[in-house]
A and B are shown apart, each in its own frame.
Chain A
Amino acid sequence: MPTPPPATIHPDGHTDGNALAGPLGELFAVDLTAAATSCVGCGRRSHLAELHLYSSGPGLIARCPGCHDPVLRLVRTPERLILDLRGTVSLSVFLPSPGE
Chain B
Amino acid sequence: MARAAIRRRLTGPLPWRVAHLVGRRAETATANTLSLRLDDWPGHLPGQHVDLRLTAEDGYSVQRSYSIASAPEDSMLELTVQLLAEGEVSPFLVRDYALGDPIELRGPVGGWFAWEPDDERPVLLIGGGSGVVPLMAMVRTRRALGRTTPFTLLYSVRTPEDVYYRDELERGDDVGVAILYTRRAPPGSRRPPQRLSPNDLPPLTERHPVTYICGPTGFVEAAAGMLVDLGYDPDQIRTERFGPTGA
Contact = CB atoms under 8 A, between A and B. Distances in A.
Given A16-B239, A31-B110, A50-B239, A2 B10 contact: no
Given A21-B49, A31-B9, A100-B7, A13 B245 contact: yes
A88 interface: no
A29 B9 contact: yes
B246 interface: yes
Nearest to B60: A2
Contacts of A9: 243-245
Contacts of A13: 217, 243-245
Interface stretch (B11-19, B118-126, B144-152): B11-19
15 contacts: A3-B88, A5-B62, A13-B217, A16-B240, A16-B241, A18-B49, A22-B50, A25-B109, A26-B13, A26-B14, A30-B9, A34-B112, A49-B112, A49-B113, A100-B6
**Chain B interface, DSSP helix/strand/loop, else mixed:** mixed
B217 A21 contact: no
A16 B7 CA distance: 25
Interface residues of B, number: 41
Interface residues of A, number: 34
Given A2-B54, A10-B244, A13-B217, A33 B60 contact: no
